[in-house]
Amino acid sequence: MESMTKRNAFQFRRANEEDLPEICRIVKLAGESVPVKEWFEAEDEEFLAKHIREEGFTLLAKKNGQIAAIMIVRIPGLAEDNLGEYLKISREEMKRVAHLEIAVVVPEYQGYGLQYELFCQSEAIVKNKQMRYLMATVHPDNIYSFRNMEKLGMKAVLETKKYGGKRRYVMSKTLES
C-alpha cells in the first residue's frame, strides 16, 4: 500500500509541445547516466517530437510541476521496423501493434512504481485505440525494465540484435478486447 500512497503524489498526463525541451533533456540525461550504455537507446528531438504529435503519444508523471517520468508509445502502422514482424502476423494485424519505445524515470523518483504505472496507463490508451499487441524491446541484462514488462504481462518472444547490433529481447503482450 505504501507505493500506491507514494504514486498518488504524482500527476499523470499526456505530453504536449511545451514539454518537448524537458523531455529531450531527460532522455539525453538517461542516455548519459544509464549504468550500461547498451541498455538505453536515447532518441533525438525529431523522434521525440513525433511521438507527442503524430506517431503515438507520450505520457508524463509530474511532481511539483517537474517531470518525474516519461513513457513514449509509438503506433508504427506498417512501418518496416514494426515489431509485429516477430509475431508472424498478417499485414492487417500489424496495424494493431503499439510499441513501448522509451521509459525513463528521473533518478530521484526511482522506486515509486512510476514506470509500471505509466506502462498500465499506456496499455489502457492503446486498448482504447483498438490495438491488439503491445510490444517493446529490452536489453536482456536490464532486469528492472524486464521485470516491469513481465509484471505487465509481457513475454519475451525472442532475443535478437537491434539498434546497430545491440542485444534485445522482443517483448509482447496480446491485449484482450
176 three-class SS: coil
Q: Tell me: the pLDDT tens digits for 103-143?
A: 888 989 988 999 889 999 999 999 999 999 999 999 898 88
Place of cell 513481465: 150
The CATH number of the domain holding residue 85 is 3.40.630.30
What is the residue range of 110's domain? 2-174
Q: Tell me: the pLDDT tens digits for 13-56?
A: 999 889 888 888 877 776 666 565 555 566 666 666 666 777 78
Type of residue found at 154: M
Provide the number of structural domains found in the chain.
Answer: 1
The grid coordinates listed for 109 are 523518483
